[in-house]
Amino acid sequence: MINFKLPDEVLKVFNKLKKAGYEIYLVGGSVRNLLLGKKTTNWDFTTNATPHEILKIFKEGFYNNQFGTVGVPQKSGLIFEITTFRSEKGYTDKRHPDQIRWGKTLIEDLSRRDFTINALAFDGKQIIDPYQGQKDLQAKVIKTVGEPQARFNEDALRLLRAVRIAAELGFMIEEKTLAAIKKYRKNIHVISAERIREEIFKILASPYPADGFFLLRSTGLLKEILPELDACFGVAQKSPKRHHVYDVGTHLVMSLKFCKAKDPIVRLATLLHDVGKPKVVSKNQDNIITFYNHEIVGTKIVEEIAKKLKLAKKDSQKLITLVRWHQFSVDERQTDKALRRFIRRVGKENLEDMLALRIADRLGGGAKETSWRLELFKKRLQEVQKQPFTVADLKIDGYDVMKILNIKPGPRVGEILNHLFQKVEEGKLPNKREILLEEIKNISLKDN
């Protein structure tokens, strides 16, 4: 008997189904988390009750797909997923079972699950563990339930799930399981771009994203899903007078490792920022390796990757912007105007992330986190942002102009606003409402 402290909402599900005479178990990630002492938000249950029977007990439930899963919304806002025991037969498309049948027993249901650590169930008192999942959980290994080759060959999504779960938990992949992933890596092409993206994003967002990408690389999966990044491995950048200690691919993954941003898009941009380098690598007359324009070539490649992975438009734009401008200069001799141009290009909303990428880039190249130059640059970014950036940042607007000058909407209004903006930008006028209103009156005296 194990005394896990389960939320009341979970206990309620147990009680209701048991009272109605059914078997009910927690399965999947929640059992893993209970055993690891981690927090769970995703509670998955399995039962011998059919969806129809589950819905009779939970009137608020909804039957959401052909897989026999009933979603039951909770007061806490969580949605519990209750799935009828299943047994599956045949996977001719290497993704979906040809036949989904309700299983009769828990053991049958656990046997169709992918990894031993995912094939654990908890009935409220005991852990049911037919595949030694607890042992693997302790040893921190990912191992398939049953013969690895058969399991990966029947469902190619598991290839990426293995790497993703390893990155989420900081686990190793067991030897035979790893060999089977290598063997069946090309099957990943039967998986939709959306599902691949989802797994890549989960790896990026995980606590061990760099380990995840090194695993993708060593299994050969990287070459299948992100060949552009795979091509960066082995491209040397070590030259006399250069600080780089790694080849391009290793540098990119190390940058990801040090990326402080949590947003998977910023992490993806960090991982891909030098992806243009293999295409432009060259040597100058002093035998120094150069990568001229790699950020421009890299931007094109990243655009293609965004398309291929079907990123949302907003995500794709952010990714492209961060890669395009990652080579920004922090030279202290830059003018304020140059700094303002940089801010306008990157967008104020992306500045923090652009700096996070730069710091990750430095750390991932063996440099210190920051330098006096970078610190000065950051300070100056703050300073120049106190000035308005566009007409829209002025403390007055077109209505003020029209009212004071008693004119109708038209190009003249814009001209006057632009004129005022220029004066403010040049520092000839402060961005103060009272003063700008006075200035509009002066314009009227001068011009009319």
Judged by the rule CB under 6 A, the positions of this chain that interact with ligand ATP are 28-29, 42, 44, 113-114, 118, 155, 157-158, 161
Does residue number 29 form part of the binding site for Mg ion (CB under 5 A)? yes
Asked if 353 interacts with Mg ion (CB under 5 A), we say: no
Nearer to Mg ion, 28 or 364 (CB): 28
Of the pair 42, 422, the CB lying nearest ligand ATP is at 42
Residue number with the smallest Cβ distance to ligand ATP: 29
Nearer to ligand ATP, 91 or 389 (CB): 91
The β-bridge relationship of strands 282-283 and 289-290 is: antiparallel
CA distance 122 to 42: 15
Closest separation in Å from C-beta 61 to ligand ATP: 18
Residue 189 is classified by DSSP as G
- Least separation in angstroms between residue 103's CB and ligand ATP is 13
Nearest to 78 by CA among 36, 40, 121: 40
Q: Does 119 bind Mg ion (CB under 5 A)?
A: no
End-to-end CA distance of the chain: 91
- Find the shortest distance in angstroms from Cβ 75 to ligand ATP: 21
Should residue 28 be labelled a site residue for Mg ion when binding is judged by CB under 5 A?
Answer: yes
Query: Phi and psi (nearest 5°) for 348?
Result: -55, -40
d(CA 307, CA 105): 44
DSSP three-state, residue 142 = strand
Stretch that binds Mg ion, among 21-29, 173-181, 276-284, 347-355 (CB under 5 A): 21-29
Shortest Å distance, C-beta 155 to ligand ATP: 5
Phi/psi at 167 (nearest 5 deg)? Answer: -70, -35
Question: Nearer Cβ to ligand ATP, position 264 or 276?
Answer: 264
With b for 16 or more beta-carbon neighbours within 10 A and e for fewer, the 403-437 pattern comes to ebbeeeeeeebeebbeebbeebbeeebebeeeebe
Instruction: Output 155 or 274, the one with its CB closest to ligand ATP.
Output: 155
Which of residues 29 and 364 has its CB atom nearest to ligand ATP in the complex? 29
Could you tell me the smallest distance in angstroms from the CB atom of residue 44 to ligand ATP? Answer: 5
Nearest residue to 232 (alpha-carbon basis) of 244, 167, 241, 166: 244
Does residue 264 belong to the site contacting Mg ion (CB under 5 A)?
A: no
Whole-number minimum distance, CB 31 to ligand ATP, in Å?
8
Confirm if 269 and 319 have CB atoms less than 8 A apart. Answer: yes
The listed partner (ligand ATP, Mg ion, none) that binds 118, CB under 5 to 8 Å by sort, is ligand ATP
Cβ 318 to ligand ATP, closest distance in Å?
25
Separation CA 137–CA 35 (nearest Å) = 8
Tally Cβ neighbours within 10 Å of residue 386. 7
C-beta closer to ligand ATP: residue 42 or 105: 42
Enumerate helices (H) and strands (E) in the chain, giving the number of each.
Answer: 23, 13
Q: Which residues bind Mg ion (CB under 5 A)?
A: 28-29, 42, 44
